[in-house]
Chains A and B, each alone.
Chain A
């Protein structure tokens, strides 16, 4: 009686059947890489020290772009809930003997699945473009797991927040307002795009507490270094641990709020 299966499959159907979202999903990674790769390529001139030893800027920035792609998709995860309410579909779910939380969790899972696909496409794109992603020191299965875990945890953190908001917000313009309010700060007050050495002191200090930075740094560490030293492993562990704790708290919040508060 959970309803999670049918509701998640509904979300995914709606996504892959929409030719526009499919096409933009395919183009977007190339777009981002081309944009960031060339816009900030001058940073490479500062040399490998600033780039933490990355062979080129794309390799350096991959962790950031992956995280940001996850973040931006996650920010929109609540929008469908608001439209379900407006279009009356939510009414059908609420009179069914399913767990109320499955309505919200279907959005969380579907968004996470979309993010996973985007991550795959982005990595492929980064490998394909000239002067793109290079695994100088190899890339192990553990590295891949760390990369996926980092993006997924960021996805869970922000899908939890934004679907929970959508439980209470009834107007699309309100949630779009909130998204617009937080997206750029989350992006720029983080280590997703720039090395800490290039950031203003206060900005870099603030960025330390942004989960976007934790994910970006964790991925960056494994992509650049391949096999990690003990101290690198420790840092990655701290970042992932922080992400996991935050994700757990927020998923619990999403669960309790949706079980008790969701209504038309």
Chain B
């Protein structure tokens, strides 16, 4: 398969100081769902904004659908659909009017636009409210409208920047269903950013973990997990002293505290190591209250590469508040 997006030492420095992207080199293949995973401030939105020509790179460039983002931004814009992190639909127009306006930006013939808009509206179950002003939409409805606003001109590539930010868990799962449906039915390449691990895990074929503007790892979810080389064993002990003793278990690749009296051991292979751990526990007369074996999750992958835990369940209103604040700061 051919790369439909390729970045070449893509770098963005804001205001001469903040290095948001640092020589980024990624390659995205046609037809895949590609996930960019990273904590707040990692440079996800910056990457997307550069690729969609919303901002210009400080140095380096990228080729999107065969066009250079610096030299040929207009052609890039024609071949892509974008669902930005912030809301972009006009509250004073109806859902239908918003989509209609976007279709006119792309010179979609009126008849074709109408047909396509209706198809998209029913795909995300908004047909009933299409003539209502967007101001009267719920947060979830608004996000669904944003999702299809990036699709009215039949783009080859769709960029989704945090498509489920601020949505509750049910609505989020519903959005995933729509994204999958879009990918299957409309045959687009999707680039998705998120800091929800489950989201990237559920939707993306391939994932890049980025932090501080650099790619730390790329691969399928399975590859990333197997790269970790090892399983996790979680044990909770009766006393602090017992926990300390278990931390000294010699067969562990790594031992960490994991809460009060809880220990997190990383071992090569849990199936072989577990009996030995049990022997060690009884040999040292430790009292254990709980023992769990964990195959690595994307969480662990993330922790491994970025050295910090991503919080997958942030309270929605505080995120929302941050979004609003960011907007007001402009």
Contact = CB atoms under 8 A, between A and B. Distances in A.
B330 A6 contact: no
Given A88-B87, A264-B330, 18 more contacts: A6-B104, A13-B92, A13-B97, A14-B90, A14-B92, A14-B93, A18-B92, A86-B327, A87-B87, A89-B88, A89-B89, A91-B54, A91-B88, A92-B89, A95-B52, A95-B53, A98-B105, A264-B54
A1 B86 contact: no
Interface in A1-45: 1, 3, 5-7, 9-10, 13-14, 17-18
12 contacts: A5-B104, A6-B100, A6-B104, A6-B105, A14-B90, A86-B330, A89-B88, A91-B88, A92-B88, A93-B105, A96-B105, A96-B106
A170 interface: yes
Query: What class of interface size applies to chain B in its complex with A?
Result: 20 to 34
Interface string B93-127: 10001001110111100000000000000000000
Interface string B32-58: 000000000000000000001111000
Contacts of B92: 13-14, 17-18
Contacts of B105: 1, 3, 6, 93, 96-98
Given A3-B105, A95-B53, A10 B84 contact: no
Interface string B60-78: 0000000000000010011
B54 A95 contact: yes
A88 B84 contact: yes
Contacts of B80: 95
Interface in B235-293: none
A217 B286 CA distance: 100
B330 A10 contact: no
A97 B86 contact: no
Interface of B: 52-55, 74, 77-78, 80, 82, 84, 86-93, 97, 100-102, 104-107, 149, 327-328, 330
B53 A1 contact: no
A114 interface: no
Given A86-B328, A88-B84, A88-B88, A97 B78 contact: yes
A87 B87 CA distance: 8
Nearest to B100: A6
Contacts of A5: 104
A16 to B, nearest CB: 11
Contacts of A95: 52-54, 77, 80, 82, 84
A139 B34 CA distance: 69
A170 B330 contact: yes
Nearest to B328: A86
A252 interface: no
Contacts of A6: 100-101, 104-105
A94 interface: yes
